[in-house]
Amino acid sequence: MTLLTRYLLRSFLLPFTYLMVGLLAIWLLADLANYLNDFLEAKVPVRGIASLYWKQLPFVIVPILPVSVMLALLYSVIRLSQANELQAMSGSGISYARILLPFIGVGVVASVIVGVLNYRLAPEAEGAKGRLVAELTGARDGDGRLKIDKFEYATGHLYANRRDARLWYVQRLARRANEPFRGVQVTQQDAAGNVIAKFDAPSALYDEKNRTWKLEKPRIVRFDESGELIAERFPPEEIVREWTETPAQIAAATLQAQFLGVPELRRYLTINADDSDSQLAPFRTQLLHRYSFPLVCIALVLVAAPLSMSHARRGVIAGVAGAILILFAFFFLNQLFLALGQGNRLSPFWAAWTPMVLLLLSGAIILRRRTIHQANALTSVAGWKRMLGLG
């Protein structure tokens, strides 16, 4: 690592550290203010509160890290500009592209961190917050039931297996654990859509080893094609081998796409591949968004660094304002396109990648305009060699 690289990184890391700590502290105080009364009433120990917010860190770091990178970069580059250090570096033959290289490296590292957290930890932490708070406080709904039940269990759930023409209604099921389903009603249809059988059981348990369903004290009714009842049974238990559904497949439909990590999104799309495009759109969009969003750190470096490289006060103010405006525009477009993709109004691919492509193009154009006046700009092989320190 050259002396220049070490100096530029030191000028960046100090404001970056302050910004990360400050923004995390602001989030912690604001969030704690919402739940402090509940924690005090439930006499939640400090260790429990600390554990709650420690588990929430991945979710909070994902949006804070790109913002901190951009603001710290603006501050450090402006300080170098105002101290005429950038002018001195340029006068000694160092290109602006070469000066940006350490900052681009920081953007790459930050993007990797965001990608790792966004792969699984961040979305799962976001989805688990309500459950963790309800578990700590023991809060109850208006009807006296524990609030944590709505996070652990789904009630009145419908699941349609279109491939096998089977409709499930489950009165109560565990979202993640392999517990018996309560209040199960299964309706079987033939290829023409006629109901040919109905199964009602107080509970149903899936045997993973044998891939069978066991119905406790079921009522089994058979119909002919005209809808006339032809048989009715009340066995103490019934083993059903022809049902291909698994508890995970049925419970997956109760999950929200934004709270699932990449492995769970892939699993959902695999086991529910027969669902309609409108039902799968939220999960496809979120999966592609998990891959596109981490590039925001690199894109913001490409945008912020050239805009802040100015020796005139007016140019500095305009550059900072432009960078912040682009940041807000990106987050607005990101949410807008996600909503369009999840609502099946836009292809999931374009919903996930369009905001990021626009941000990267903006950064590339701004960087090119900043370096085009030099003899060896980034539009030439020599310019890239100088940037990488090879020329």
Query: What is the reported pLDDT for 246?
Result: 83
> H-helix or E-strand containing 34?
helix 3-41
Tell me the Cα Rg of the chain: 28
So what's the pLDDT on residue 357? Answer: 94
Helix ranges (H only) for 83-173 are 85-91, 96-116, 122-137, 148-152
Interatomic CA distance for residues 298 and 360, integer angstroms? 8
pLDDT at 23: 94
Please choose, from the candidates 252, 237, 231, 129, the residue with its C-alpha nearest in 3D space to the C-alpha of residue 184: 237
What is the residue-level pLDDT of the chain in tens, covering all 391 positions? 688 788 888 889 999 999 999 999 999 999 888 888 878 887 888 888 888 889 899 999 999 999 999 999 988 888 877 777 777 776 777 777 777 888 889 999 999 999 999 998 999 887 777 777 777 776 655 555 555 556 667 778 888 888 888 999 998 887 666 778 899 999 999 888 888 899 999 999 998 888 899 999 999 999 988 778 888 999 999 999 988 888 877 877 777 888 888 988 898 888 777 777 888 899 999 999 999 999 999 999 988 887 777 655 555 677 778 888 888 999 999 999 999 999 999 999 999 999 999 999 888 887 777 665 443 444 445 554 554 555 5
| DSSP labels, 340-381 | HHHTTSS-HHHHHHHHHHHHHHHHHHHHHHHHTTSTT-TTSH
Does residue 50 contact residue 106 with C-beta atoms inside 8 Å?
no
Instruction: Look at residue 135 in the predicted model and tell me its pLDDT.
Output: 72
| Rounded Cα–Cα distance for residues 137 and 132 (Å) | 9
Q: Provide the b/e sequence for 332-350 (b: ≥16 CB within 10 Å).
A: eebeebbebbbebebbbee
pLDDT at 143: 53
- In angstroms, the CA 384 to CA 378 distance is 6
pLDDT of residue 374: 46
Q: Using DSSP bridges, classify how beta strands 195-207 and 212-216 pair: parallel, antiparallel or unpaired.
A: antiparallel
Angstrom distance (rounded) from CA 7 to CA 13: 10
Cα 300 from Cα 65, distance rounded (Å): 11
CB atoms inside a 10 Å sphere around CB 132: 18
